[in-house]
Structure 1
Amino acid sequence: MRISALLGFLFLGLQALAQNTQVDYESIYKIKDEGFNNSQVMDIAWNLTDRIGPRLTGSEGLKKAYDWTSQMYKDWGLTNVKVEAWGDFGPGWEVDKNYIAMTVPYYQAMIAIPKAWTPGTGKEITAEVVYVEINSEEDLAKYKGNLKGKVVLMPTTTEAVNGYDADARRYTDEELEGMTKVAVRGGRGGGNFSASRMSDFRRASNLRRAAYTMLKEEGVAMVLNTNRGGQGTFFTSNGARNDDSALPEMEMAPEHYNRMVRLLQKGEKVMVEAETKTRFLKSDTKGYNVVGDIVGSDARLKNEVVMVGAHLDSWFAGTGATDNAAGSAVMMEVMRILKTSGVKLKRTVRIGLWSGEEQGIFGSRNYVQNTFMTDKKPNAAHQNFSAYYNMDNGTGAIRGIYLQGNEATKGLFEEWFKPFHEIGASTITTSNTGGTDHLAFDGVGLPGFQFIQDPIAYNTRTHHSNMDIYEALEEVDLKKNAVIIAALVMQTANMDAKMPRKPKDF
């Protein structure tokens, strides 16, 4: 009897798995037809980039994006549309004017932008440039009394060198196969700091704070800095949002920065003229998310939720195209496809466009805590949640999915991706990836997934750079992504059971 019971249990389990993994090809045909033949994804992306522009959290640009995206939800027939406060973010920040040029030893307009959350110059300045070499706090003393009214170049090891490899690339079959072999942290998550590296990082941070305090006391006119980049591209830092010692500061293309350094090191006099106007926005310091629903059709299951999401905020040197208008446009297009195609959705499907991701995944983390947790314990909404899908790895085509260690879902996704093998999406890995909003869900035991995407030029040219603009978007890839995600959402919404979860202690 025990053997019979066990066999019966296994049969029922396999039967349930088969029902959940069965591909609904009729609905996928409708999704493909709408997504490939009537796509609006590039028009959505154009509105977010060219028309609305940069969307730094707390900025006027992001406020415009809140208004426009929520109106589009309503126009498409979504319900429960909200621009919903998630908590206090702090002052926003805007750039109203941005100009710098070298005037001595000759005139040269330069590529630069104010560092986020720094004050402006207040007026046009003309000043001598000084390169300070500070390797320890003892070095600060030799500059005291000599920097008032000067423009200061901070020390850097950044070089701009000729590149012999293409900026953009796609994953090879061998690379994708390798992702399925080893369950390691991948994508944007980065590696672990050793104790010595962490100590070096803290030492450098402390030295930087001491240097900026001294520069402010000295009355310098402006600080110039540079990060990695080259060929006219520069990558921004995380800004100075919580830095009370912030001075007027600009981040520059390394070629222009290093030219001034070389001139100064050779004994040449360098002067610049500059004017930056920035504003701190303090009338509304809250952060917001934009949410909306397609209510499920099944009376028993419509209180359960499947979510898609992406972060709507961006940096501001470009227009935040690949990071992350691409993800926001695709997820909006997913909702439009699901609504317009008329495919059956038993569970409610919800979209969340998040803010504050660039400063610490604030929007999604607060949404998850506010919605699915009560007194740090799972609530009824947590119980009724099925899965969350996130897109935030640039414009590249989806090649598969990271399961975040949720091995129980592997069989589901292996089946659900079969209709997309012919367009290159087939890699299912139990590995983790980090650095973005799916972590908010995964962190409280909810199934949260991020996609494997072709890198294109995300890390080499566009991520947090002045070249993160509309032209960096790959139309064919974004159409594919919207179709694939819409199909996965449809399958998830119509499962007999919710998405399997990893064990989680609270």
Structure 2
Amino acid sequence: MQKIITGFFLSFLFLLQATAQDTVDIQIMNLIREQGLKNSKIELFAHHLTDGSGPRLTNSPGYNRALQWLISISKEFNFSNPRKEAWGEFGKGWSNEYSALNMRTPYFEDIIAYPVPWTLGTTKPAMAEVALIDALDSASIDKLGANIKGKIVMVKPANRPLNFPFQPLAKRYGDSSLDHLPPTYMFARSEIEAFVPYLKAEYYTKLYLAKKGAVALLNSNRGSRDGTVFVQGATSYAKGYAATLPEMTMSIETAMRIARLIQNKQKVSLELNVNNRFYNDDLTGYNFVAEIPGTDPVLKNEVVMLGGHLDSWTGGTGATDNAAGCIVMMEAMRILNALPVKPKRTIRIALWGGEEQGLYGSFGYVKKHFGNPADMQLKPEQQKISAYYNLDNGTGKIRGIYAQGNEAVVPIFRNWLAPFTDLGANGGVTLSSTGSTDHVSFDAVGIPGFQFIQDPMEYETRTHHSNMDTYEHLSIPDLQQAAVIVAAFVYNTAMRTELMPRKPLPKAERFVFDFDFPL
């Protein structure tokens, strides 16, 4: 009973202390709101990071265009020391410079298809018959035997009807569901340990296919429909993994039609013409980093961080994944730098490279500045960062935040969301955790790292890693709302008397995405 009473008293005392130092300055919140909603530069950031940069595959020309533009615009907005910062070796860059795929027999038709990143192109237009394989494995390849030579090989799609979309592709959360959201998917170590050998096996299977004389490989994936094509993959950025053969991804509708024709004894031939380019001059991976310097003589040496990942796949222009997060974080920085009251702590934005391959940019930054979770030998900077805020769930407005199991931040975050309930931030603070994006790198070394809860919109159903991930699928009003709320959270964190509360340090353990690739 004494332990229960003592625990209750300590919790109550902490709540009083948190309430005392986390009283929201409504005047500043209104200035943030006015700056973000009336003087928004969201469309400026959105256009240049999507239309202007193009796809932002790590170490590609599009990624480098985005880096240079971010540095330039940061200087215009008077951010301090905007720069690209190396995080370690990544590997080769890649871009597609031309591609065309069409059916020539039994009739002509242009096909919606996209080259898979880091795959080979064709040296000249190639016309060949299509050969189906049941699966991408050596047994299926051997089953076809000599019939593979000179053929365009297509992995047979599952023979199933597509479900009609009786459920809407886009949706928002209801107001009553936000406080108790279940944990979203987080990769388990066992899954990663199984997945990396799978990637290796897949690579050598494609190499085997090329040695058997296949002209190219075609596939469809993830149950895409209505012309939406999900384009991702290939391991050939990594040292020791030379590209094997041309590979393209097409819509599921086209793949199923080709499969039906072949299964009904009709010959299908395709013409393929792809020009891809690799970039080997600089294998280093880079993040974008900039600051707003703190003004308090003591607290300016402490840091509040915000960010999202800058890299994307290549089917679209990476608008919702994750130009949206970068747009919001850059706009939050602009809003904060326009305030008449300057932050006590330094505010630092970091936009990450290599996220799509395994959180490379953020984890490389964390190892460089804060420590490695494998041994938990932490660096002095780890004690000087208050929190890291991440945005990487599409274009939807912010409805709340995942507390990542940190009970002490819940009342603080509820207080910070309260002034923005009319904008849809209805106080949703869930203790649940979410994973598989860059805040996880910070959480792994005991730094409070948080991801905001966003309206799902059509992120998972249509735009995530697809050819539909373009400017047109951004909701500008939602991004404006998100920038206001991020700016408020970052400002309040920068002005607190104390650093944000921390969970107990995690035990030393290899980071879930820290794998040696190639194995």
Instruction: Answer yes or no: same fold by TM over 0.5.
Output: yes
CA contact (8 A) 2:291 2:349 kept: yes
Deviation at 1:11, TM superposition (A): 8.9
Alignment of 1:352 onto 2:350: yes
Give runs of aligned pairs for residues 268-279 of structure 1, distance below 5 A: 268-279=266-277
CA contact (8 A) 1:30 1:343 kept: no
Paired amino acid for 1:170: R
CA contact (8 A) 1:216 1:245 kept: no
Provide the residue aligned with 2:214 in structure 1.
Answer: 220
Provide the residue aligned with 2:450 in structure 1.
Answer: 449
Deviation at 1:236, TM superposition (A): 1.9
- Is there any run of 5+ residues in structure 2 with no aligned partner, and where? 1-5, 509-519
Provide the residue aligned with 1:162 in structure 2.
Answer: 164
Deviation at 1:220, TM superposition (A): 1.1
- Is there any run of 5+ residues in structure 1 with no aligned partner, and where? none
Provide the residue aligned with 1:102 in structure 2.
Answer: 103
SS in 2 for 1:365: helix
Identity rate of aligned residues, in percent?
44
SS in 1 for 2:343: coil
Deviation at 1:149, TM superposition (A): 1.5
How far apart, CA to CA, are the structure 1 residues paired with 2:168 and 2:470? 18
CA offsets, 1:224-268, max 9 Å, x none? Answer: 011021000011232233554621110111111111111000001
Deviation at 1:202, TM superposition (A): 8.9
Provide the residue aligned with 1:230 in structure 2.
Answer: 225
| 75 and 267 in structure 1: CA distance in 2 versus 1, 3 angstrom threshold | same
CA contact (8 A) 2:157 2:255 kept: no
TM-score for the superposition, normalised by structure 2? 0.90
Alignment of 1:416 onto 2:410: no
SS in 2 for 1:234: coil
Deviation at 1:175, TM superposition (A): 3.1
How far apart, CA to CA, are the structure 1 residues paired with 2:481 and 2:281? 41
Deviation at 1:156, TM superposition (A): 2.7
Paired amino acid for 2:69: W
Give runs of aligned pairs for residues 96-495 of structure 1, distance below 5 A: 96-134=97-135, 137-157=138-158, 160-179=162-181, 184-186=182-184, 188-189=185-186, 208=202, 211-228=205-222, 229-241=224-236, 242=238, 243-244=241-242, 246-373=244-371, 376-425=376-425, 426-495=427-496
Provide the residue aligned with 2:73 in structure 1.
Answer: 72
How far apart, CA to CA, are the structure 2 residues paired with 1:32 and 1:96? 43
SS in 2 for 1:96: strand
CA contact (8 A) 1:346 1:493 kept: yes
How far apart, CA to CA, are the structure 2 residues paired with 1:15 and 1:138? 66
How far apart, CA to CA, are the structure 2 residues paired with 1:145 and 1:319? 40
| 150 and 80 in structure 1: CA distance in 2 versus 1, 3 angstrom threshold | same
Provide the residue aligned with 2:501 in structure 1.
Answer: 500
How far apart, CA to CA, are the structure 2 residues paired with 1:205 and 1:350? 35
Provide the residue aligned with 2:3 in structure 1.
Answer: none
CA offsets, 1:278-309, max 9 Å, x none? Answer: 11100011110111110111111100000110
Aligned residues: 494
CA contact (8 A) 1:129 1:151 kept: yes
Paired amino acid for 1:60: P
CA offsets, 1:339-363, max 9 Å, x none? Answer: 0123331101010011000011000
Farther off after superposition, 367-376 or 310-319: 367-376
CA contact (8 A) 2:376 2:445 kept: no
How far apart, CA to CA, are the structure 1 residues paired with 2:420 and 2:311? 30
In angstroms, what is the RMSD of aligned CA positions? 2.5
SS in 2 for 1:341: coil
Provide the residue aligned with 2:514 in structure 1.
Answer: none
How far apart, CA to CA, are the structure 2 residues paired with 1:109 and 1:36? 44
| 112 and 310 in structure 1: CA distance in 2 versus 1, 3 angstrom threshold | same
Farther off after superposition, 453-462 or 406-415: 406-415
Paired amino acid for 1:141: D
How far apart, CA to CA, are the structure 2 residues paired with 1:13 and 1:285? 48
Deviation at 1:143, TM superposition (A): 1.8
Provide the residue aligned with 1:21 in structure 2.
Answer: 22
How far apart, CA to CA, are the structure 1 residues paired with 2:289 and 2:191? 40
TM-score for the superposition, normalised by structure 1? 0.92
SS in 2 for 1:102: strand
